[in-house]
Each structure stands twice: as structure tokens, then as C-alpha cells.
Amino acid sequence: MRTSAGALILGAGFLLVGAAVTRAAEYPGWGDTGWEYASKRECCAAAIEIAASYSATACTNSGGVPRPFRGATERGTCSAEWTQDENGSLLYRCRGEGVGLVPVTTSAWTESS
């Protein structure tokens, strides 16, 4: 009897931790700058920023509080394509994916910890 009660308590603990971990998922976002006169670096930074904004919105809409990763050096990925206008000036279009935000659960257990 004592063993089954201990197993029950241990199982309940795993469920609580599992629920907290599940709610702490990443919320990816995607961004597209459209064609713009900018350097590739500026274009990619803008696309990743758009993606991070969508990621933050998805996190907030699910009840979380967006926070940047601590110590992260890369906030997302970017693909760029370019073309030239009739004067030969470069235009870039960048698509970014950002996953630099994670939710903080709003349960009473997490807030009091």
C-alpha cells in the first residue's frame, strides 16, 4: 500500500512538471519584408524582427509573457533574394523565421516560484 501511494504522488509530480514544460514551448514566427532598397544585412534584420513580433503576439495570445532567450546570439534565420531596378540599384526581399521568444507560464506555481 505504501509503495502504490508513493508511486501515485510521484506520478502526480511528473504530471505537474510535464504541464509546466508543455506550456513553455517556443512560438515561431515568420516575416517577409517585400522588395526594398536596403542592404542584405538590414533586410534580414527587418525580416527577423517581423518574425519576432509575430512570435511575441502568438505567445501573448496563448496566455504567455514573451521573453528573449538569455545569452542567445542568433534570433532567427533569414533567406534573401535580390533583383535590380532599371537603374541597376539592388533591391532585396527577405524572409525570416524567428524563435527567439518563449512564454512564461501564468500558473500560480510558476509565479510564486
pTM, two decimals, is 0.64
C-alpha cell at 38: 536596403
Percent of the chain with pLDDT over 70: 58
Q: What is the mean pLDDT of residues 48-72?
A: 81
What's the Cα-to-Cα distance from 1 to each of 5, 7, 9, 11, 13, rounded to whole Å? 6, 10, 13, 15, 19
Interior CA angle at 99 toward 94 and 24, to 5°?
A: 165
> What pLDDT does residue 17 have?
45
- Residue 100 phi/psi, 5-degree rounding, is -85, 10
Task: Return the higher-pLDDT residue of 41 and 55.
Answer: 41
Query: With the C-alpha atoms ordered 85, 86, 87, 88, is the resulting torsion angle positive or negative?
Result: positive
pLDDT band at 82 (very low <50, low <70, confident <90, very high): very high
Q: What is the mean pLDDT of residues 51-62?
A: 89
Residue pair 39/11 in contact (Cβ under 8 Å)? The answer is no
